[in-house]
């Protein structure tokens, strides 16, 4: 059915009506009309449309214009004799009528072909727009899938790093427990004194989310004096390990809530978690 519709929309029926097909092509159209009634109906509608267009374009001159035209024509004696012959005059009129019908029919055919071309262009443009929309949708889906894959890859990679760190005897795992300011909070600090590395396990961290004006600050107590180890945010989407400032010696780690960017000295009233190194 789709192939039949494509045949109807191909323009061959219009060419048949215009007489622009060879004998083989005309025979094919006539055979299709016999096999498929819808093709014959479409062909009849095209013929009717072109005839209607031709009739609409017919322009009959008024009697006054006709008389003025013939009065303005002068003939020589020989031409007058020829014009006086009834049969010859009828022949001339017949030729002119055929020429007029030919031009009217040709103009109607041109208009019909123009209409078919416009419809074809509109359909092509619609198909192109649909294809562009489908391509954009596929690109968006592929990008979303790629983002998910990258996220999972990062998550697996960070998980491997955490496992390796927990299994590395060079690291000391210091669990910082919540204070009265935040009893449910806890953070695990991985401390490697030999390599002077301090890491936060963000995956297992449980801290209230800080606002835009504040950050958490990690401190190390070294011989009773606080040492700044850097600031961090408690983001729910953070995973993996976060490296802090280096230190090779400490007895205790603690976290306070400070103004964004950190403080020189810890605000003990905002002490959130604390833990001793065993």
Question: Tokens 């029919």 sit at which residue?
Answer: 105
Averaged over 116-129, what is the pLDDT?
80
pLDDT of residue 274: 97
Average pLDDT of the chain, as a whole number: 80
Give domain limits for the chain: 2-139, 172-276
**Backbone φ/ψ region at 196: left (φ over 0), alpha (ψ -120 to 50), beta:** left
189 pLDDT higher than 80: yes
171 pLDDT higher than 50: yes
Q: Quick check: 29 and 43 in contact, CB under 8 A?
A: yes
pLDDT of residue 89: 43
Residue 32, φ and ψ in degrees, nearest 5: -65, -35
Q: Could you report the per-residue pLDDT of 24-83, keeping only the tens digit for each?
A: 989 998 998 998 888 888 889 888 887 777 666 555 555 665 565 556 555 555 555 555
Averaged over 165-192, what is the pLDDT?
92
Residue 202, token pair as written in the block: 């963000």
Question: Tokens 């072109």 sit at which residue?
Answer: 50
pLDDT of residue 109: 74
pLDDT of residue 92: 43
Looking at per-residue pLDDT, the higher value among 207 and 124 belongs to: 207
Averaged over 122-131, what is the pLDDT?
80
pLDDT of residue 91: 45
pLDDT of residue 146: 72
Q: Could you report the per-residue pLDDT of 219-278, keeping only the tens digit for each?
A: 999 999 999 999 999 986 667 789 999 999 999 999 999 999 999 999 999 999 999 998
Residues 261 and 210: their CA atoms lie apart, in Å, by 13
How confident is residue 90, by pLDDT bands cut at 50, 70 and 90?
very low
211 pLDDT higher than 90: yes
Residue 188, φ and ψ in degrees, nearest 5: -105, 125
pLDDT of residue 59: 52
pLDDT of residue 68: 57
H or E, element range at 152: helix 86-167
Averaged over 8-34, what is the pLDDT?
87
């Amino acid at each position: 059915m789709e192939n039949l519709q494509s045949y109807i929309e191909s323009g061959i029926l219009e060419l048949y009506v215009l007489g622009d097909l060879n004998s083989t092509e005309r025979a094919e159209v006539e055979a299709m009309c016999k096999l498929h009634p819808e093709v014959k109906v479409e062909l009849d509608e095209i013929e009717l449309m072109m005839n209607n267009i031709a009739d609409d374009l017919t322009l009959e001159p008024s009697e006054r214009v006709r008389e003025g035209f013939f009065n303005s024509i002068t003939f020589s004696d020989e031409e007058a004799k020829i014009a006086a012959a009834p049969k010859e005059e009828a022949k001339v009129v017949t030729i002119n009528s055929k020429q007029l019908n030919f031009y009217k029919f040709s103009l109607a055919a041109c208009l019909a072909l123009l209409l078919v071309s416009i419809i074809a262009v509109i359909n092509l443009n619609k198909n192109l727009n649909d294809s562009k929309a489908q391509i954009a949708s596929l690109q968006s889906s592929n990008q979303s899938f790629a983002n998910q894959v990258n996220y999972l890859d990062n998550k697996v990679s960070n998980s491997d790093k955490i496992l390796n760190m927990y299994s590395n005897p060079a690291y000391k795992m210091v669990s910082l427990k919540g204070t009265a300011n935040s009893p449910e909070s806890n953070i695990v600090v991985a401390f490697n004194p030999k390599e002077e590395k301090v890491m936060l396990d963000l995956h297992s961290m449980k801290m209230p989310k800080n606002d835009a004006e504040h950050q958490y600050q990690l401190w190390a107590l070294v011989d009773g004096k606080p040492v700044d180890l850097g600031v961090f945010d408690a983001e729910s989407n953070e995973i993996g390990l976060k490296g802090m400032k280096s230190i090779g010696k400490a007895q205790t780690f603690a976290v306070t809530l400070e103004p964004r960017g950190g403080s020189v000295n810890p605000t003990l009233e905002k002490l959130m978690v604390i833990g001793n190194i065993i």
